[in-house]
Amino acid sequence: MNYAHNFHIPVMGIGFTIDTPARVAHYGISSAISLVDDMLVEKMREFYCKKFDLPFQAISEKIDDFRAKRITAYLNLIDEIVRRKFEELKNSLNQKGGELEKYMDMLPDFSEIKQRFNHFIQSNNLKDLQHWLHQHLPLGSIDVNIMTKLDRETYRDNEKLPPEYNDAHAALRGFANSDLKSSVVLSAGMNPRLYSYMENFDDFYPNEKGEIKKKIILKVSDYRSALIQGKFLAKKGIWISEYRIESGLNCGGHAFATDGYLMGPILEEFKINRQSLIETTHEILVSALEAKGRPVPEQPMGIKITAQGGVGTCDEHEFLMDYYDIDSIGWGSPFLLAPEVTNVDNYTLNLLADAKEDDLYLSGISPLGVPFNNLRGNTKDIEKQELIDKNRPGSSCPKKYVEINKDFGEKAICIASRQYQFLKLKELKKLHEHDDEKYQEEFDKVVEKSCICVGLGTSALHRNNLDHRKEGPGVSVCPGPNIAYYSRKVSLKEMVGHIYGKINIIERSDRPHVFIKELNLYVDYLKSRINEMAKPLTEKNEKYIDTFHKNLLDGIEYYKDLFNKKTAQFQDRKEQLLQSLDHLKEELNDVKLKVFGVLQ
């Protein structure tokens, strides 16, 4: 598929982008829907059926495979709405200020689509233009996101169901059975059982021409992980069409930090090895397809390399695209300030607009046990603290999507739930009955966990005036650190104009370069990890610190070379960038000196 734009909107939370494709796909902009919450999906399906006067029949939890069926029905509905809007847009040629004009205005000036459109207009050839629009105007992709590790076991009448009814499996099946011709983004690491389950669906396999109805986008943080997972799926006859590289720390949501590997060097490795990755995985794919008796593509299929995490200016966007041969850049958190695009309630919207660096922090609130980007003052944290103050910590766990802990029995529960926290605190009270200080320390860690599977979806209910009594009013939000440099609500057109350098919506002049910001975050992360480590350090921890330190220093040297080599791109701020690198190198070495007493 040819795309109109060279940016995409990644999945954000559970509800923030639950209907984003219905808002932007007809403008040629691709985005992704989270498939975590089938209850929210069902509520949104009912909402949109009423809005567009379409028939709605509820899919009850009492029927077999309800989760997959809800997801399929919702995705088909969004597809229908997008196509209806797209047809109306293409037929609005004669409307001044209409949707087609908005589509064209948002395209970058270098766009071939825009140039072709203007050529038809200038030659007054409206009949051929109308035909060309219906044949060639690109639609944005309606992609979906599955967190592979959120694969909760499910039960019916207290009897465990087979693995294909697990949450991620059912979500995958819901997508596979839909009418969509798009991609599933697999995030949060490798799930071999889920990957193997893909083999059951014809839409994931290529035909002789290399066409795939449902493609795989793999979100990765380094090349090694991409190669391992690419080979694993190729052995099953499944091709990864896109490797989506996300910064380990300079991103929203869960933060999957690397061992000090930075975005620039990682992108360089993908750039160097792109063709090798295609050839290696293609050879394995061909053998697998032949063994299955399936069609084999006539030639190796291509892959897209995309990137996301902290990109905030047109200059950064263009540099990454040009220098690293990137196909698309993900712009996430800034779109939380665009009500046309995402579901953010007014209180949270104002909180995001006012947020500064100190308001954004890496927290331990996620029941997945992975560091989680958080915003101070969000209403879910306020709601959580009120329960702690009432001596009733923990959530009632109305949705149960993160029931993965088996500390207290064979049936898993969520560590953010009231049930788990009651049992855990009771256990800790016995363990530390003579040490109040230690008990308080452990108490704080337990009750810090928050019900984000509810909190990350509730804003969609607020925005669309839907009932949230079961979920509660609290909203969790997980922006990346980059949101600190944006300070007002924006329109879709303004945000897209900012991406392409037509306007600038960042009022601050002190925003660090995306590479420097990520490096700063990694230095701070290393310091916090060292502080958390028990003293004296174990051999394992010493090795971790040493490796992390070395990788960051290698990254600094890489950036020094890059900034010196690409003088044209960095000439206005080259000295400032190099000074920042020297300062961070000094800070890193001070950290290591304090730990080891010597720089090895």
pLDDT value of position 469: 78
Domain ranges of the chain: 7-337, 379-476, 512-596
Tokens linked to 280: 């290696």
Which tens digit of pLDDT belongs to each residue from 278-329?
999 999 999 999 999 999 998 999 999 999 999 999 999 999 999 999 999 9
Long-range contacts of 525-532 (CB under 8 A, 24+ apart): 525/249, 525/257, 525/362, 526/260, 526/552, 526/588, 526/591, 527/591, 528/362, 530/591, 530/595
Q: Is the peptide bond before 300 cis (omega within 30 degrees of 0)?
A: no
Q: What is the DSSP letter of 111?
A: -
Does the structure show a pLDDT above 80 at 585? yes
Does the structure show a pLDDT above 80 at 462? yes
Phi and psi torsions of 85, nearest 5°: -65, -40
Which tens digit of pLDDT belongs to each residue from 415-453?
999 999 999 999 999 999 999 999 999 999 999 999 999
pLDDT value of position 570: 85
pLDDT value of position 598: 66
Closest CA to 45 of 56, 35, 37, 53: 56
Q: What would the DSSP string read from start to end of 216-229?
A: EEEEESSHHHHHHH
Question: Would you state the CATH architecture of domain 7-337?
Answer: Alpha-Beta Barrel (3.20)
What's the chain's average pLDDT?
95
Q: What would the DSSP string read from start to end of 21-67?
A: HHHHGGGT-EEEEE-S-HHHHHHHHHHHHHHTT-------TTSTTHH
Does the structure show a pLDDT above 60 at 244? yes
Does the structure show a pLDDT above 90 at 402? yes
* Structural contact between residues 459 and 345, judged by C-beta atoms closer than 8 angstroms: yes
Does the structure show a pLDDT above 90 at 513? yes
- Amino acid letter at 23? R
Q: What is the DSSP letter of 493?
A: H
Tokens linked to 49: 């059926």
Kindly list the distances between the CA atom of residue 503 and the CA atoms of 30, 135, 353, in Å, as whole numbers in the listed order. 21, 31, 18
Give percent of the chain above pLDDT 90. Answer: 93
Does the structure show a pLDDT above 70 at 5? yes
Buried/exposed 95-114: b ≥16 CB within 10 Å, e otherwise = eeeebbebbbebbbeebebb
Element of type H or E holding 543: helix 539-565
* Structural contact between residues 366 and 254, judged by C-beta atoms closer than 8 angstroms: yes
Tokens linked to 120: 């038809």
CA angle centred on 497, ends 495 and 498, rounded to 5°:
65
Does the structure show a pLDDT above 70 at 236? yes
* Structural contact between residues 6 and 307, judged by C-beta atoms closer than 8 angstroms: no
Beta pairing partners, 240: 216
* Structural contact between residues 281 and 231, judged by C-beta atoms closer than 8 angstroms: yes
Confidence of residue 209 (pLDDT cuts 50, 70, 90): very high
Residue with tokens 């922090």: 361
Closest CA to 43 of 62, 27, 63, 58: 58
Across the range 557-569, mean pLDDT stands at 89
Which tens digit of pLDDT belongs to each residue from 246-290?
999 999 999 999 999 999 999 999 999 999 999 999 999 999 999
Beta pairing partners, 34: 145
Residue with tokens 């991409």: 226
Which tens digit of pLDDT belongs to each residue from 61-90?
999 999 999 999 999 999 999 999 999 999
* Structural contact between residues 552 and 248, judged by C-beta atoms closer than 8 angstroms: no
Q: What is the DSSP letter of 324?
A: T
Does the structure show a pLDDT above 80 at 1? no
CA distance 349 to 353: 6
CA angle centred on 189, ends 204 and 374, rounded to 5°:
120
Which tens digit of pLDDT belongs to each residue from 101-147?
999 999 999 999 999 999 999 998 888 999 999 999 999 999 999 99
Dihedral (CA of 495, 498, 502, 503) sign: positive
Closest CA to 252 of 17, 461, 530, 448: 17
Closest CA to 572 of 497, 513, 502: 513
Burial class, 460, CB count within 10 angstroms (exposed 0-12 / middle 13-18 / buried 19+): buried
pLDDT value of position 188: 87
Confidence of residue 366 (pLDDT cuts 50, 70, 90): very high
Give percent of the chain above pLDDT 70. Answer: 99
Angle in degrees, 0-180, between the axes of helices 514-532 and 574-596, rounded to the nearest 10: 10
User: % helix / strand / coil in the chain, to the nearest 5?
Assistant: 50, 10, 40
pLDDT value of position 566: 78
pLDDT value of position 303: 97
Tokens linked to 292: 């299955």
Does the structure show a pLDDT above 80 at 470? no
pLDDT value of position 599: 63
pLDDT value of position 423: 97
* Structural contact between residues 462 and 342, judged by C-beta atoms closer than 8 angstroms: no
pLDDT value of position 597: 82
